[in-house]
Structure 1
Amino acid sequence: MEHNLKIIVFDDDPTGSQTVHGCSLLLDFSSNNLKAGLADSGPLLFLITNSRALEPAQVVELFTTICKRLKPLLAELDRPWLVVSRGDSTLRGHTPLEQELICSLLGPFHANLLVPAFPQGGRTTLAGQHLLHGEPVHLSPFGKDRRFAYSSSDLGQWLEFKSGGRLKAARIKNLHAADSLADLATGQWAVVDAQTPQDLDDLGKSLRQELLEAGKRHFCQSAASLLNGLAQIPAIQFSLAQLPPRQGPGLVLVGSYVPLADQQLELLLAEPSCRGVEFPVDQWLANPASNPLNLGLQRQQLSAIAAAGLTPVLFSSRGERQAISADQQNQLALAMAELALSLPPPLAYLIAKGGTTSFTLLRDGLGLERLRLLGQLLPGLSLLQAQPAHPIWGEMPIVTFPGNLGDASSLKKCWQLLEQWRLGT
């Protein structure tokens, strides 16, 4: 029975499947797609909502639509199920709004667990404090995010702040991942300490037992690592040797604005086989929608680099820029995706850096509804293929690269692995 559990993951950007493999990712939430995803024999179904890039009113509209379509399908499902809202391990996103929507429309659920630990990426929780490489996460650049800034790494205080005071820090329980969940009251929030993948495997086992043995369906707001324990899927590195060779150059698309992305981009562009093409964000923002920026020069540059057998790297301009809305961010990502895909086929592979960049490329640029997750190329970096094959780009492997993941050399290492596979070296 345990192995028959279906876990429906509302994922707030397309990178949250970064610790598992062999499952479906949905970008379109028609009833037929949802039904097909639930019917898949695998334990995990990812619903890529990209809600982190949306405004609260848009989140309400999207989640209401999804949940109303899901509810009758779950009532007919002949296997036990759980729901997880997979969010950012550096605490950016629409918590507790997403929890409130899911619980009101798909509930009842018993207790609510906040589990942002992602040990593979250096995110741990100790004594209710969330840490990034051992330091309080609110002191990192992520705590100063333009849209989701916060001033405390104490998860109880963070929940109180995020809820506008509705959730009181003093009433939020602190648990270790190995603790029993039996004493949690209906509707109670708990934050969970975890420092290792084994901690999260232990918690996953407890959550399964609570459902299958005690009939308690808890709701989890978590980072990616908990999903391994829930689904009993080990994190493995995918070998590119399993894929047939492909023709054409690779392509790298970088839209993330966090300082780590700047460092990674700088090291990648120092590689002799890479050539950068800058997408001029400020000029693009200055142009009204009725008079879009002429990007003919950038198209020519991308084509010339690819024709020379080098890797084009299309990146949004770096440095300080005016604040942009969520809608502008999505429009910018679409403009970059369309420019990137103006390259003639074939492409051997594509790397997309940044959550909104990846999502927009997959759903709007490539027009995909479903993806198959092959596994991780490097820890936290998911390798995807269109399902079914794309009519133009076929089964081109696509790496979704979170903006906040890795160290300065991680993007270069990812590119090097794909180049070695492409060249057969």
Structure 2
Amino acid sequence: MTTINSTEKRLAEEVLGNIQVVDTQTVKDMLEKELASLNKKIIVLDDDPTGVQTVHGVSVYTDWSVDSIEKGFQEENSMFFILTNSRGFTAAETKKAHIDIATNIAEVAKKQNKEFIVISRGDSTLRGHYPLETEVLKDTIEGHSDLQYDGEVIIPFFKEGGRFTVDNIHYVQYEEYLVPAGETEFAKDRTFGYTKSHLGEYVEEKSDGRFTAENATYISLESLRSLDIEGITNQLLQVTDFNKVVVNAVDYVDVEIFVIALAKAMKSGKQFMFRSAAALTKVIGGVSDKALLTREELIQEETNHGGLILVGSHVKKTTEQLEVLKTSDFIEFIEFNTHLVLQPEKFQVEIDRVISTTEDLIQSGKTVTVYTNRERLDLGEGKNEEELKLSVKISDAVTSIVGRLTVRPNYIVAKGGITSSDIGTKGLEVKRATVAGQIQPGIPVWYTGEESKFPGIAYIIFPGNVGAVTTLKDTVEILNK
């Protein structure tokens, strides 16, 4: 299990238990009224496919062509997602993709004479190409339109994953404890590491001091829970020079109250860019609550074949969940020796072995879990870009398992953001999917489009860092009832 130094953690009950209660129905009524008159298309750029973990009935496009963006703008829904998968990109690739996306959005919006909001959906544990993505979006959109951004809203709260922001410090929940994000394994990410848990200081660190904690605007839980809509709106009206707005939140109602004030500020002419986790998209998109999906809803085309589970994520939580899954007696397990990526010929033999074995087992009705080496490939200090490129080769190999399958599994589960993105776009060849909902809190399901390799299959996108140690096993058991 993950062990946390006792000096770094706080009891969740103590932190979250003394926060003022608010009438949620009053808030929902106010929010509905504000959103009804907002009249902006909401475009969510998702840096991996897990960002749809709070929504349902929403389209996800897997490319950012003008054609796809036009289709998104023409939908009746106020919101659509574009899967960028940029967490698996180099910085140069990320910059190019976001210039292209922003240029195409500005072009389509101008053609359709429609106002829009862009949300850069990032990781609730603060990993990703930040501030690169939002700064490129801002500069490109401003260069191709009349829009000028006043500020950027930072809101990494994600209840389903146990991510809370209190007194401007972002926490990750481990069982009954809240741990400052900067003290977790996520902060030690070799590509996207950071040290600060205070979000103003995090921005200052990541922007190399160009944006300071002192100049950030902080939306406190006290002002949110006292329903000080006017005060919060006035705070937002004062934001200039693309300075940051840090939103504290421990429940959805905090985001709802903030969005009421935000909508008022935007109607007064203020323009904001957004860097958020998945909670904001549900609220600003006006997405209703939905019960967790049942097996009957998930498996629309029964087969006599087994299911397929692919585990690529290396975070500790995933490895712990995999160990629990291994106690299942109805699953066959195949370890994929991905360290052979350093020896191309041997690596190809290993890929062929895994695919052949997987195919035979699924055909015979067995559910199969393919998992990569649990030890991450480590090339040493200063080799981040090289490691990222090798991780892409590994992800391509895992993806090819789906791409080369000739038998349709009963369902597919992909564990890890980059893994699930590549399997969705390259392996399943999805161009547009519909989010069915969630099978467990924070674990979304796509129904694949007609153009995909397996049309209408339930594709379960299981984030690496979500759930208890038993959640992966629980999820698979739902699918195999």
CA distance in structure 2 between the partners assigned to 1:402 and 1:167 by the alignment: 30
Counterpart selection for 1:229 from 276, 283, 308: 283
Q: Does 1:380 align with 2:462?
A: no
SS of residue in 1 equivalent to 2:368 = strand
CA distance in structure 1 between the partners assigned to 2:216 and 2:324 by the alignment: 43
SS of residue in 2 equivalent to 1:65 = helix
Match of 1:423 in 2: none
Deviation at residue 300 of structure 1 after TM alignment = 3.3
CA distance in structure 2 between the partners assigned to 1:91 and 1:320 by the alignment: 20
Match of 1:295 in 2: 351
**Taking structure 1 as reference, are residues 196 and 141 closer, same or farther at Cα in structure 2, changes over 3 Å only?**
same
Per-residue CA deviations over 1:29-82 (Å, capped at 9, x if unaligned) read 211111111111112111111111111111111111111111111123354421
Deviation at residue 186 of structure 1 after TM alignment = 4.3
Match of 2:45 in 1: 10
CA distance in structure 2 between the partners assigned to 1:172 and 1:386 by the alignment: 41
CA distance in structure 1 between the partners assigned to 2:345 and 2:37 by the alignment: 54
Per-residue CA deviations over 1:92-115 (Å, capped at 9, x if unaligned) read 011111111111112322221111
Q: Does 1:262 align with 2:328?
A: no
Whether contact under 8 Å (1:283, 1:293) holds in the other structure is no
Match of 1:274 in 2: 331
Match of 1:395 in 2: 456
Per-residue CA deviations over 1:358-382 (Å, capped at 9, x if unaligned) read 1111111122221111111111111
**What one-letter code is carried by the residue in structure 2 that aligns with 1:367?**
E
**Taking structure 1 as reference, are residues 239 and 150 closer, same or farther at Cα in structure 2, changes over 3 Å only?**
same
Whether contact under 8 Å (2:61, 2:83) holds in the other structure is yes
Counterpart selection for 2:262 from 178, 198, 207: 207
Counterpart selection for 1:86 from 121, 136, 160: 121
Identity %: 29
**What one-letter code is carried by the residue in structure 2 that aligns with 1:33?**
S
Whether contact under 8 Å (2:187, 2:195) holds in the other structure is yes
**Taking structure 1 as reference, are residues 306 and 401 closer, same or farther at Cα in structure 2, changes over 3 Å only?**
same
Counterpart selection for 1:149 from 170, 182, 193: 193
- The alignment's C-alpha RMSD in Å is 1.9
Between Structure 1 and Structure 2, the one with more helix by share is 2
Q: Does 1:104 align with 2:161?
A: no
CA distance in structure 2 between the partners assigned to 1:121 and 1:59 by the alignment: 26
TM-score (norm 1): 0.93
**Taking structure 1 as reference, are residues 77 and 205 closer, same or farther at Cα in structure 2, changes over 3 Å only?**
farther
Gaps of 5+ in 2: 1-35, 143-147, 225-231, 380-385
Comparing 85-94 with 409-418, greater Cα deviation is found at 409-418
**Alignment of structure 1 residues 160-239 onto 2, 5 Å:** 160-176=204-220, 178=224, 179-180=232-233, 181-211=236-266, 213-236=267-290, 237-239=292-294
Per-residue CA deviations over 1:124-169 (Å, capped at 9, x if unaligned) read 0011100011211111111111111111201111111111221122
**Taking structure 1 as reference, are residues 72 and 199 closer, same or farther at Cα in structure 2, changes over 3 Å only?**
same
CA distance in structure 1 between the partners assigned to 2:71 and 2:150 by the alignment: 28
Per-residue CA deviations over 1:268-312 (Å, capped at 9, x if unaligned) read 1210011111111111233279x8344333233213432442210
**Alignment of structure 1 residues 48-127 onto 2, 5 Å:** 48-107=83-142, 108-127=148-167
**What one-letter code is carried by the residue in structure 2 that aligns with 1:262?**
T
CA distance in structure 1 between the partners assigned to 2:431 and 2:356 by the alignment: 30
CA distance in structure 1 between the partners assigned to 2:79 and 2:206 by the alignment: 28
**Alignment of structure 1 residues 37-52 onto 2, 5 Å:** 37-52=72-87
Counterpart selection for 2:429 from 347, 354, 367: 367
